């Protein structure tokens, strides 16, 4: 751990102060705004901690998917954000063109996108992630 607070630690600490000291002092009609701010800060902390790895592994999965259906774009030397945008657009086009319609490809597509979606829900709202229930029949 570094000696000096990083961005995530600063936001997390600021959020604690908001919840402990400011929220109880807010008038009732401002409480909702206070809670929204706390929620936004919690998302920012999680994204700061998990976002980079999530984006890198998403890019890797999208590249695999495109390789599997022979729809890979030229390997870009762009920074990860641009590369991700390109990969997502290529997967969108391949999906629309039915390149993943084959049952095996489709299964692979859904599984890869699910992995990415789980990573993002772990940042945006981890409470919405399903545990074992996800695998249980309805």
Q: Whole-angstrom Cα distance, residue 64 to residue 124? A: 25
Q: Tell me which of 96, 104, 131, 132 binds another protein, using CB under 8 A.
A: 96
- Smallest Cα–Cα separation from 46: which of 133, 137, 128? 128
Q: Which is nearer to another protein, 5 or 97 (CB)?
A: 97
Q: Is 31 in the site for another protein (CB under 8 A)?
A: no
Under the binding rule (CB under 8 A), the answer on residue 13 touching another protein is no
Each residue 56-85 as x (binds another protein by CB under 8 A) or -, in order, gives: ------x----------------------x
Orientation of helix 31-68 relative to helix 103-124, angle to 10°: 150
Distances from the Cα of 127 to the Cα of 2, 56, 120, angstroms = 29, 23, 12
Q: Binding to another protein (CB under 8 A): which residues in 32-51?
A: 33, 36-37, 39-40, 43
């Amino acid at each position: 751990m570094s000696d000096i607070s990083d961005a995530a630690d600063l936001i997390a600490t600021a959020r604690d102060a908001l919840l402990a000291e400011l929220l109880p002092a807010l008038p009732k009609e401002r409480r909702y705004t206070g809670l929204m701010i706390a929620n936004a800060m919690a998302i920012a902390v999680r994204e700061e901690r998990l976002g980079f790895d999530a984006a890198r592994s998403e890019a890797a999965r999208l590249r695999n998917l495109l390789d599997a259906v022979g729809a890979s774009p030229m390997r870009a030397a762009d920074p990860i954000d641009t590369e991700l945008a390109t990969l997502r657009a290529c997967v969108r086009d391949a999906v629309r063109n039915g390149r993943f319609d084959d049952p095996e490809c489709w299964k692979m597509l859904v599984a890869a996108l699910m992995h990415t979606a789980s990573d993002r829900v772990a940042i945006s709202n981890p409470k919405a992630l399903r545990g074992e229930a996800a695998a249980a029949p309805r």
